[in-house]
Amino acid sequence: DAGVIQSPRHEVTEMGQEVTLRCKPISGHDYLFWYRQTMMRGLELLIYFNNNVPIDDSGMPEDRFSAKMPNASFSTLKIQPSEPRDSAVYFCASTRTGRVGEQYFGPGTRLTVT
Amino acid sequence: KNQVEQSPQSLIILEGKNCTLQCNYTVSPFSNLRWYKQDTGRGPVSLTIMTFSENTKSNGRYTATLDADTKQSSLHITASQLSDSASYICVVSGSNAGNMLTFGGGTRLMVKP
């Protein structure tokens, strides 16, 4: 199994631009999570899906952030418009029902907004 | 409010030495606690999981303990190696539906030769 796949690995963009981060979960996993990690705040859960349905998006910082999961093998996290304070590493993780604590993380996308 | 506090924030030890990382939590009701290792530039990887009834669990040179009464856990690393240099994150799961994970801030460990 290839594990959780994220793209791009690095993204540098200018303030105001739209950014789209992509994630392919592990096949057979029905939970998908989006996290943000910064030095100041550590790992923060942004949103998670179960069976492609958003369950809890209370961690999404503001309306500039949106996430979709059109099918079981693909999810996107979009920031529009991006701001310098969005600079962070964004992780996607997946797991299966009954093992929510055992999440498998992707390699992350390092986002820099200038 | 669910919280997970880790100490120390950072730690430097010499190769071959032992060390212990601490985790205190207030998550309730409690389901399980995991220790993750995160190498620089990579995603976290699970080291151990402990449920309410477990007091200790080992994974090679890593030994985790859990005291559910005092809501404390520790991760002991024996005979440290350079490859142990990483961040170690304590993550607690609540047992309520929709009560996902609460992450600690992590301990940054550096093992020097």
Per-residue pLDDT tens digits for A5-47: 999 999 999 999 999 999 999 999 999 999 999 988 889 999 9
With an 8 Å Cβ cutoff, are B32 and A101 in contact?
yes
A102 in contact with B, Cβ within 8 Å: yes
The dihedral over CA atoms of B88, B94, B100, B103, expressed in degrees to the nearest 10, equals -20
CB contact under 8 A, A101 and B98: no
Q: Pick from A44, A48, A100: which is nearest to B93 by CB?
A: A100
Residue A1 pLDDT greater than 80, yes or no = no
Per residue in A35-79, pLDDT tens?
999 988 889 999 999 999 999 898 898 899 999 999 999 999 999
Q: Indicate whether B56 pLDDT > 90.
A: yes
> Chain A 44-83, CB below 8 Å of chain B: which residues?
44-45, 48, 55-56
Buried b (16+ CB within 10 A) or exposed e, B47-70: bbbbeeeeeebeeeebbbbbebee
Task: Note whether B111 and B79 are within 8 A (CB).
Answer: no
Q: Residue A29 CB: number of other CB atoms within 10 A? A: 18
* Dihedral angle of Cα A101, A86, B3, B53, to the nearest 10 degrees: 10
Question: What sign for the dihedral angle of Cα B82, A40, A65, B92?
Answer: positive
For residue A24, what are the CA distances in angstroms to A32, A105, B74, B99, B108?
Answer: 9, 11, 33, 24, 29
